[in-house]
Amino acid sequence: MPKLSYLKALNRALGDEMDRDESVFVLGEDMNFALTNVTAGFLKRFGPDRVVEVPLTEQGFTNFATGAAMAGRRPVIEFQIPFLLLLVFEQITNQANKFLMMSGGQRSVPVTYLMPAAGWRAGWGAQHSDQPYSMFAHMGVKTVLPATPTDAYGLLTTAIRDDDPVVFFGPLASLSVREIVEYTDLAPIPLGSGRVHRPGTDVTVVALGHLVHEALAVAEELADEASIEVWDPRSVYPFDWAGLAESVAKTGRLVVFDDSNRSCGMGAEILATAAEEMRLQAPPKRVTRPDGAIVGAVPELDAVLQPTRQQLAEAVRSVLKSTGW
């Protein structure tokens, strides 16, 4: 069977949806050059009417997509760095995401905001290393964060077909991941459905985005010490709380591994909900970035802010040793 890379999964999902539905089109900067490879071959395949090159006007073309969606199209905007989403935060959260309610249900806004380069790379720069998925979840915008090629294919397909705006984060550290797949098995994945990547009985590790692969490595390293279940929410809004409760009911202990800031991040939200609504045998822990801005530019300073395998292993051991509340 062929190996499918994360980037090729995005290319295949977007191309399949453009073949299936003529209302789908893609727009963004450097579309003609396909710099991220997500739209490689699309200009020749679909033409300039459906592969739209735009100038450096993020707020302008994001609002253009809102208008196109209200007129019956399904735009997919490709951004290349997370900072650009912050430029258009108001357009997405306060306009596109609320317009269905503001219009009394008359107009939906089915725009997909595709970010195939979210996240951290050492020394990339102060505006390039953020993971703002928690912010969109906080504002009630449908937000997905797949870790694998098959999940990327399935969730991008669902995002494009959804009648609401959806923000899609493709973590930079996952883009080189490959999976052996049968192409006929690729299918849409519902938003709000978590995935058990590794079953276990002693502790649940909730890992988000590229940290799923780090968590699986730690689970393997600690296999002689504990049976670790690695659980991936895949969507941060809506969140699969029932799926997490099922995992925690089995293990009774919880560690969250999250590459967003500690305060008000997804790790904080998951721990709070678990403490309120689930039966935990010991206080849970989270491994996150510290609060504050990513320094960027200096790789050594950048690196010390990232959650690590060692921190996760220490958190797992601490939770397992805890005698309870």
Is 128 an active-site residue?
Answer: yes
Q: Please give the structure tokens belonging to residue 121.
A: 């790379």
Question: How far apart (Å, rounded) are the C-alpha atoms in residues 9 and 178?
Answer: 9
Q: Which of 128, 197, 210, 213 does the annotation list as catalytic?
A: 128
- CA-closest candidate to residue 199, choices 156, 153, 143, 243: 243
Secondary structure of residue 74 in the 3-state scheme:
strand
What percent of the chain is helix, strand and coil (3-state, nearest 5)? 40, 20, 40
Question: How far apart (Å, rounded) are the C-alpha atoms in residues 118 and 88?
Answer: 15
Helix H or strand E segment including 231: strand 228-232
- CA-closest candidate to residue 112, choices 46, 40, 55, 161: 161
Residue linked to tokens 């039966």: 279
Question: How far apart (Å, rounded) are the C-alpha atoms in residues 190 and 183?
Answer: 18
Backbone angles phi, psi at 315, to 5 degrees: -65, -40
Question: How far apart (Å, rounded) are the C-alpha atoms in residues 74 and 218?
Answer: 40
How far from the centroid of its chain's Cα atoms is residue 312's Cα?
A: 20
Cβ–Cβ under 8 Å, residues 251 and 201: yes
- Catalytic center residues: 128
